[in-house]
Structure 1
Amino acid sequence: MSNNPGNLFKQHALILICTLLLILCCFSKTTSFVNANFYHCPVLDKCFTYFTNLGDGIVVVVLVAGFFIIRKTALAIKLLATFLFSGLIVQVLKELFHAPRPKTFFAENFYRFFIEGVTHGGYASFPSGHTTTAFAVAAMLSFNTSKRSVCMFCFWAAVLVGYSRIYLGQHFLEDVTTGMIIGVVSSILIDHGYKSYLVRKAARKNSAISYEQPAAIGI
């Protein structure tokens, strides 16, 4: 397994996504949702209610502002670009599919773990925006750190955000899995695009220097 934190994140994300896709192929939407929610308790209800907020857009705003303040401008720009790009994809898909959330999808009294005041219905289930944001941020931070510990912390924090969306009855497994894919792929594209931009910029600068350098005069 690669020692590079960015590659390490990609490897873990790929394994997780492939595993979840296999589960989705083997079990129905209802079965996978119910099985993922096999245990509930007041402590976890409270913990996940707060933890799920790590996938909220305000967290990205705080991170971007923080990186600008400490003069990590490139990372701030990449984080913001990833958030906007992945968020646009999510909103387009939500409008296209108009998929019901679990509370709307299930018949009344079918599922007993919906949390009063937290779980809500509606038709914006697919894909999960919180999961997308969590994985987009986690991936981008992992691509820009030299510490494996930071990478693994970001990865598992994103995983817990994704699971919290199912636990809280806000999304199905397919919504969360798709959110993971969108978040990770968006980060890869933005990070690669930024690096390509830097390479082209350096090439143009070197070309300009070579053009401006006067030819040697022989004596």
Structure 2
Amino acid sequence: MTNKQLLLLLGVGISLCSVLLLFVSDKGDMVLWLNEHRTTIADVLFKYGTHFGDGLMYIPILLFLFIYRKWYFFYLLSCGVFHGVVALIFKQWIFKGLPRPKAFFDEGVLSFVEGVKIHSSNSFPSGHTATAFSLAIALALIINRKSYTLLLFGLAIVAGVSRVYLSQHFLMDVTAGAMIGMTGSWGLWHFYFQKERQLLKKTSKVNTY
């Protein structure tokens, strides 16, 4: 199995599992279940693991690529812009004001992790999850090693689950965010790859004369 096949398998598997859970559960079921099964270790894991979905994660990686691999810099920058714009359109225009778990449930139903700022609106989709999965797919394609692919997907899954565990989003928000991030990075990779192949062909033709 190649790295790309592993990526495709993981992406499809995660998407199918998430969609299946959406069909067999109500909107807030996963939030309530995770909230009822909180542990100290999980609080720490998801409190800090959620930061893999911060947009700031792109900055040091982009700076590194700008210095050493400019072609990948433009690809990763495009991934960030794509999922950011799509998530913004959904959040601020199409589904603006959609309540998050804090506003959806009655006061006192949920308990929150200390030190985490909880938001109340603009729930759909999860921007953190879109960032996490966009970054995971993009870096996995760039590095092209199965061990890193598994690690990156693990971090993205932690970030996605953390959004529900921390009562910041519903499962449907996280599922949509993951799909936006994954499809954007996959699609842009094939776009850039085709462009790169065309450039290489042109360069090779010029060098033969």
TM more than 0.5: yes
Alignment map for 1:83-102 (pairs within 5 Å)? 83-95=80-92, 96-98=94-96, 99-102=98-101
Shift of residue 52, structure 1, vs aligned partner: 0.8
Shift of residue 25, structure 1, vs aligned partner: 1.0
Partner of 1:152: 150
- The residue type paired with residue 110 of structure 1 is V
Partner of 1:134: 132
Number of residue pairs the alignment of both structures matches: 207
Q: Give the Cα separation in 1 of the matches to 2:146 and 2:136.
A: 12
Structure 2 counterpart SS, 1:58: helix
Deviations along 1:106-139, one digit per CA (max 9) or x if unpaired, are: 111222x223441423321111111101100100
Over the aligned positions, Cα root-mean-square deviation in angstroms equals 1.9
Q: Which runs of 5+ in 1 are unaligned?
A: 214-219
Partner of 2:22: 24
Identical aligned residues as a percent: 31
- Shift of the 48–32 alpha-carbon distance from structure 1 to 2, 3 Å rule, reads closer
Shift of residue 44, structure 1, vs aligned partner: 2.5
Partner of 2:169: 171
Q: Give the Cα separation in 1 of the matches to 2:4 and 2:73.
A: 17
Partner of 1:55: 53
Q: Which runs of 5+ in 2 are unaligned?
A: none
TM-score normalised by structure 2 residue count: 0.91
Q: Give the Cα separation in 1 of the matches to 2:83 and 2:144.
A: 24
Partner of 2:194: 196
Deviations along 1:75-107, one digit per CA (max 9) or x if unpaired, are: 222111101111100000112112211101111
Partner of 1:74: 71
Q: Give the Cα separation in 1 of the matches to 2:66 and 2:203.
A: 25
Shift of residue 205, structure 1, vs aligned partner: 4.5
Q: Give the Cα separation in 2 of the matches to 1:119 and 1:47.
A: 16
8 Å Cα contact 1:125/1:175 also seen in 2 = yes
8 Å Cα contact 1:103/1:119 also seen in 2 = no
Structure number with bigger Rg = 1
